[in-house]
Chains A and B, each alone.
Chain A
Amino acid sequence: MTRIIERREVAPNVHRLIVEAPQIAEKVRPGQFVIVMPDEEGERVPISVAEWDAKAGSIVLFFLEVGVSTMKLARKEKGEDLYAVVGPLGRPATIGKFGTVVLGGGCYGIGAITAIAKAMKEAGNRVIAISEGRSRYLLYNQDTLRRFVDECLEATTDGSAGKKGKVQDVLRDFAKREKVDMAYFVGCTFMMMRCAETAKELGIKTLVALNSLMLDGTGMCGVCRVSVGGKTRFACVDGPEFDGHDVDWLELFQRKAIFVRDEVTAYQFHACRALRRHEGGD
């Protein structure tokens, strides 16, 4: 059991969760993730570790409510317990002195990228963060990012904040005024794919943190396999970081959707059950 220190909805459907996990807080490196189970019936959900405090023994996670297990996580309050939190898993991110590093985040990635932003800055890079959302109210974590980066840029689809457009549009503008040595993208698959394509056009070395399906997170089940540069790799133990120019994005999209029909059914079913309980049935 893992105690929740705080849970807050930082943007619609996006939650920031702080949990007590001293062993993980001591070991975790930027780019690594944990697997979280809300309760005994829950799925094992992989979530990047965004920040941590080894002294206080806590870690910070950002997640998007998309299915039953994340819905349950989103209903948990301070002082409650999570059934399981295990990690740190995956290889740490490649951190080094590259020069100017652009970080792009979308949805949960706006939060998750914090760890990489901080580490890249500490490694002596000039760090630019670009966050995207459909509208201004979907952007969050900007104050935290600002503490670690040199410039904090925004993009919204409706133009209500920052540039009207996406991360890759801001990247294109930025690359016109400054040389970019490295790009790192964290977020939904579509966003990472588009950004990686633009970065490739601009000749920028690109890393992405993939978010494929996982069960154990230790290399045992292989559901997270992705094709990178024509080779099959396991995102859980060989990744989650890969060269964004080499990922077979189409395969990744398809594999992420393997269970989508059941996931939607479960989401609806669960809501019904919750309602029945509320009405005194069940």
Chain B
Amino acid sequence: MDEQKPKRHPRQKMPEQHPKVRARNFDEVPLGYDKETARREAERCLQCKKPLCMSGCPVNVKIPEFLKLVKDGDWAGAARKIKETNALPSVCGRVCPQESQCEGQCVLGKKGEPVAIGRLERFCADYERNEKLVRLPEKAKPTGKKVAVVGSGPAGLTVAGDLILLGYEVTIFEALHKPGGVLVYGIPEFRLPKAIVDAEVKYLRDLGVKLALNTVVGRTRGLRELMERDGFDAVFIAVGAGLPHFMRIPGENLCGVFSSNEYLTRANLLRSYLFPIYDTPPPRGRNVAVVGGGNVAMDCVRSALRLGAENAYLVYRRSRTEMPARAEEIHHGEEEGVQFHLLTAPVEVLGDENGWVRGLKCVRMELGEPDESGRRRPMPVKGSEYVLDLDAVVIAIGAAANPLLTSTVPELKLNEKGYIETDERGRTSVPGVYAGGDIVTGQATVILAMGAGRQAALAMHEDLTKK
């Protein structure tokens, strides 16, 4: 075969734990590529002159360039290439919805299967970290200016990583006792091992980023106070959308009904799957239904199996096509034995005489005309009600804006749903205050929050340089 021509082998599979085994443990599901598989997969890249994959990436990772380095066997070099525009590659390689971003644009995908960009991103970042080849990049000379980042999730970590390199003094304020935001309290260990988040945070610390944990901005420290008393020249707000939605149906306060935030926080942040080595009790259930169709719902229902459920149901009111979850998560859930009740909506949570959940009354749905989201509107089918026997229900239908911080800054302009209004570069109505991630957009993905962080970091740099 011609040296220059890309190899025509199929998309390389990534080994995984067997579904029966992994459904009962919290270890990571996919085991990652080895060097040879990575090389073979990278060889499939056509090295397009106008790479569409890059345009599909919210942080414009230089995909063809890093794939070429993988092909040539320079894995650490590839990792560094990714890191030029993406501070958290080992996270993104695992949790990005590649099928609707980079891989969704890949020309190979038009006729066959796209290059497994996500898996290769993960491989490079893991290789660099595991082989201890992570190098701290040069920092620009100190600007003498201080920036506060409120919240240590993906948006906050991105801003901190970008601004520390540009020569700012950066402090991240985090309300919880561990840094990482949704990466530690929300996304489960089996999808994103916490050791990886710890390594990413350590990298930022090594670069000089300061972390103030257990600090609730809005309570422990005022936003204004950060600027006026503590001398921060700018503040980036990235507190996420941390207010759980409930369904407003009867029975939601019964024992055994959890918000997805509670369910996942117990399991992940508080490590209750290791109870009683950790003190926090796990949210148990033998028959568990999770309501919702996104990644959070998939995380909950797969966690339910791992926490010992015999039956784990996913109840979603639209059909599989409309499920916002990553294709891979749905597929993994199916393999593990999640039972899907699609086109089904909950009507009422039923309780026993002690105030505990005993079932979920559901109704079948059919799809009608498209609604404002462009998805076909689900309509209840008369007389189709049935009851699922349960002892736990998890509500994973999204989150709203948490007003804890925003309500303490009346001059901060919010939209009608309580999210912070910004220009396209993250500037809020208050000079010196920027925002990004879920507290601006509403609940979205890790990579979109990182993209917003990147934009805001550039805007902050620009504005602070002008000053």
A237 within 8 A of B: yes
Are A42 and B244 touching (Cβ within 8 A)?
Answer: no
Are A216 and B355 touching (Cβ within 8 A)?
Answer: no
Are A215 and B266 touching (Cβ within 8 A)?
Answer: yes
Are B220 and A218 touching (Cβ within 8 A)?
Answer: no
Are A88 and B220 touching (Cβ within 8 A)?
Answer: yes
B375 within 8 A of A: no
| Contact partner, A218, options B175, B262, B284, Cβ 8 Å | B175
Are A89 and B216 touching (Cβ within 8 A)?
Answer: yes
Q: How many residues of A contact B (CB 8 A)?
A: 46
B87 to chain A, nearest CB (A): 25
| Contact partner, A255, options B255, B271, B275, Cβ 8 Å | B255
Are A221 and B244 touching (Cβ within 8 A)?
Answer: yes
A83 within 8 A of B: yes
B334 to chain A, nearest CB (A): 28
B214 within 8 A of A: yes
Contact with B along A232-257 (1 / 0, CB 8 A): 10000100000000000011001101
B47 within 8 A of A: no
B1 within 8 A of A: no
Are A42 and B279 touching (Cβ within 8 A)?
Answer: yes
| Contact partner, B276, options A24, A84, A223, A270, Cβ 8 Å | A270
Q: Which residues of B contact A227 (CB under 8 A)?
A: 253
Contact with B along A11-35 (1 / 0, CB 8 A): 0000000000001100100000000
Q: Which residue of B lies closest to A45 (CB)?
A: B279
In the assembled complex, the Cα of A219 lies from the Cα of B279 at a distance in Å of 21
Are A221 and B261 touching (Cβ within 8 A)?
Answer: yes
Are B175 and A232 touching (Cβ within 8 A)?
Answer: no
Are A219 and B275 touching (Cβ within 8 A)?
Answer: no
| Contact partner, B282, options A67, A262, A269, Cβ 8 Å | A262
Contact with A along B220-253 (1 / 0, CB 8 A): 1100000000000000000000111010000011
- Please indicate which of the listed interface residues A24, A218, A227 has the most CB atoms of chain B within 10 Å of its own CB: A218
Are A86 and B177 touching (Cβ within 8 A)?
Answer: yes
Q: Which residues of B contact A266 (CB under 8 A)?
A: 275-276, 279, 281
B270 within 8 A of A: yes
Size class of the contact patch on chain B? 35 or more
B268 to chain A, nearest CB (A): 11
Q: Which residues of B contact A262 (CB under 8 A)?
A: 275-276, 281-282, 284
SS of B interface (majority): loop
Q: Which residues of B contact A237 (CB under 8 A)?
A: 404
Q: Which residue of A lies closest to B266 (CB)?
A: A215
| Contact partner, B261, options A84, A220, A263, Cβ 8 Å | A220
Q: Which residues of B contact A59 (CB under 8 A)?
A: none
A68 within 8 A of B: yes
Contact with A along B164-202 (1 / 0, CB 8 A): 000000000001110000000100000000000000000
B401 to chain A, nearest CB (A): 11
In the assembled complex, the Cα of A259 lies from the Cα of B284 at a distance in Å of 9
Are A43 and B279 touching (Cβ within 8 A)?
Answer: yes
Are B252 and A232 touching (Cβ within 8 A)?
Answer: yes
Q: A68-B276, A218-B404 are in contact. Are A27 and B220 (CB under 8 A)?
A: yes
In the assembled complex, the Cα of A270 lies from the Cα of B252 at a distance in Å of 33
| Contact partner, B265, options A23, A86, A220, Cβ 8 Å | A220
B277 within 8 A of A: yes
Are B279 and A23 touching (Cβ within 8 A)?
Answer: no
Are A254 and B215 touching (Cβ within 8 A)?
Answer: no
In the assembled complex, the Cα of A215 lies from the Cα of B175 at a distance in Å of 12
For this complex, 14 residue pairs linking A to B, each with C-beta atoms less than 8 Å apart, are: A24-B220, A41-B278, A44-B177, A72-B279, A87-B219, A88-B219, A216-B175, A216-B176, A218-B402, A221-B261, A237-B404, A258-B255, A270-B276, A270-B279
Give the interface of A toward B (CB within 8 A). Answer: 23-24, 27, 37, 40-44, 67-69, 72, 83-89, 215-216, 218-223, 225-227, 232, 237, 250-251, 254-255, 257-259, 262-263, 265-266, 269-270
Give the interface of B toward A (CB within 8 A). Answer: 175-177, 185, 213-216, 219-221, 242-244, 246, 252-253, 255-256, 258-259, 261-262, 265-266, 270-271, 275-282, 284, 354-356, 402-404
Further contacts, 5 of them, CB under 8 A, given A43-B270, A43-B279, A219-B242: A23-B220, A86-B214, A221-B259, A232-B252, A262-B281
